[in-house]
A = this chain, B = another copy of it.
Amino acid sequence: MPSTQMVFADRASHREWLLAQSALPAGFRVGCSRFDFTPAEAPKPARMTLTLVALDRPSPDFAAVFTRNAFPGAPVTVGRGRLAGPALSAIIINNKISNVCAPGGTEAAERVCAETARLLGVPADSVLPSSTGVIGWGLPVGAMLSALPGAVAALSAGSVMPAAEGIVTTDLYPKVRRAAVGAGSIVGIAKGAGMIEPNMATMLVYLMTDLAVPRAELRRMLSAAVEPSFNSISVDSDTSTSDTVALVSSGRVPCPDARAFESALARVCSDLAEDVVRNGEGVRHVIRVSVVNAPGFGAARALGKAIVNAPLFKCAVAGNDPNVGRLVQAIGKHVGAHDPGADLSGMRMRLGGVEIFSGGAFRLDPGKEAALVAHMRLAELYASAPPKNGVYSPPVDFPAHERCVEIEVDFGQFGGASAVVLGSDLTHEYVSENADYRS
């Protein structure tokens, strides 16, 4: 699927475009409430945002996919149970603390849901909880319950922007995508910047639609849509314990065309997934790997992931250094470990459209080197700014362009499967963000 990434000159024009995308489908309202608190585990003040997404009436038509991490957060465990329930009325989301492996985490999530349900006048098991932030700490349940009435009072139809802005943590900007189908629409928001190699879904993604699509169809379509989108990206190879993609329909608008809906859903997921990579922690280059003529989709995607997760290659990209030897290292490590008998004699590689490898050997010369460097420089989202007090920070907080470092790997099995994987470089900005994130 081709990219529909947008180009912006500054944060103001980006925000204007986001607002234009943010019209809520019929039947939804969103509201936020912010408050200060002090975590019990490491006493230092913090600010939490509660974000509430509410349906005007409970809907049986909803779907959700969750992380495959073996230590899922309490909200994921509770959310899996919700899938068996009759209807969804609301989603209550908090940032700062992810409620993962915290003593009493499930009870805490259920208490927040119950109070949300009481305030909205709906059943407690129709509220989906969602949390993101530090792993291991407990939710400040008392403070959250006190703040909930504020979120309910703030509920408003019109724009999804308050929710898109409410759910972020280290994201530089909110992420909103919209697709129209007939008289209705699908609107999605996402958060996620680090700990991003989703294995089912990226950290937190909420998709709202007013188009009437039955539960079973929604679930099938969502499962299909996450594979080439959220499950085909990686910022840092870390799979979050909180990954969640939820899709809910208010059923207000008849769906004129199921295939158009499915296609629009796939587009929104694909766009949000690229937004997540493009706004990944410390990302200065987005890398797009296209693997073709591979033995299967799984093998193609796994090879693409192996490339975008190889630290030395990621560092070379950060430095605009076409160190293609590290690309071959990454491919060779992956194939050697997972398919040691594979015939690689027909493998070909291109970087920025330039053939660099075929017939088992590199095809390099100084002219190609110069072209590769130019391609990488052009794909740099921003030039690294000198650190302040030892900390590197991105000088831009909007998507500056839509270009990628383009890698094509032809596995050499004519007529085989293909996959596209999006990843990123490894930069000083990423290390600065993560070597002292929590303290």
CB-CB contacts below 8 Å: A381-405 with B: 384, 386-387, 390
Task: Write the nearest CB–CB distance from A263 to chain B, whole angstroms.
Answer: 30
Chain A binding surface, main DSSP class: loop
- Quick one: which of B241, B323, B340, B364 contacts A437, CB cutoff 8 A? B323
Cβ of A41 under 8 Å from chain B:
yes
Residues on B with C-beta less than 8 A from A439 are 319, 321
CB-CB contacts below 8 Å: A179-199 with B: 194-195, 197, 199
A103 x B321 contact (CB < 8 A): no
B438 x A318 contact (CB < 8 A): no
Q: Give this chain's copy count.
A: 2
Task: Write the nearest CB–CB distance from A333 to chain B, whole angstroms.
Answer: 4
Cβ of A9 under 8 Å from chain B:
no
B101 x A70 contact (CB < 8 A): no
Cβ of A130 under 8 Å from chain B:
no
- Quick one: which of B70, B333, B336, B364 contacts A238, CB cutoff 8 A? B333
Residues on B with C-beta less than 8 A from A98 are 325
Assuming A237-B311, A436-B321, is B361 touching A331 (CB within 8 A)? Answer: no
Cβ of A134 under 8 Å from chain B:
yes
CA distance A330 to B43 in the complex (A): 25
Query: A200 — nearest CB in chain B belongs to which residue?
Result: B336
Task: Write the nearest CB–CB distance from A335 to chain B, whole angstroms.
Answer: 4
Task: Write the nearest CB–CB distance from A38 to chain B, whole angstroms.
Answer: 11
B438 x A427 contact (CB < 8 A): no
Query: A284 — nearest CB in chain B belongs to which residue?
Result: B435
CA distance A362 to B67 in the complex (A): 20
- Quick one: which of B42, B100, B197 contacts A369, CB cutoff 8 A? B42
Assuming A70-B344, A199-B333, A318-B435, is B362 touching A328 (CB within 8 A)? Answer: no
One digit per residue, 1 when the CB lies within 8 angstroms of any chain B CB and 0 when it does not, for chain A 116-144 equals: 00000000000000000011110000000
Q: Most chain-B CB neighbours within 10 Å: which of A100, A333, A386?
A: A333
CA distance A66 to B137 in the complex (A): 45
CA distance A135 to B101 in the complex (A): 44
B312 x A434 contact (CB < 8 A): yes
B41 x A364 contact (CB < 8 A): yes
Cβ of A295 under 8 Å from chain B:
no
Task: Write the nearest CB–CB distance from A341 to chain B, whole angstroms.
Answer: 9
24 A-B interface contacts by CB (under 8 A) = A70-B333, A70-B342, A71-B329, A101-B328, A101-B357, A101-B360, A102-B362, A105-B361, A135-B324, A136-B324, A197-B333, A237-B310, A238-B330, A238-B333, A239-B329, A239-B337, A240-B329, A311-B311, A311-B430, A316-B438, A319-B436, A319-B437, A426-B431, A427-B435
Sample of 7 further A-B pairs with CB below 8 A, known A238-B312, A238-B326, A384-B390: A70-B334, A98-B325, A137-B325, A199-B336, A199-B337, A315-B431, A426-B435
Chain A residues within 8 Å of B, Cβ to Cβ? 41-43, 67-72, 98, 100-103, 105, 134-137, 194-195, 197, 199, 236-241, 309-312, 315-316, 318-319, 321, 323-326, 328-337, 339-340, 342, 344, 357, 360-362, 364-366, 369, 384, 386-387, 390, 426-428, 430-432, 434-439
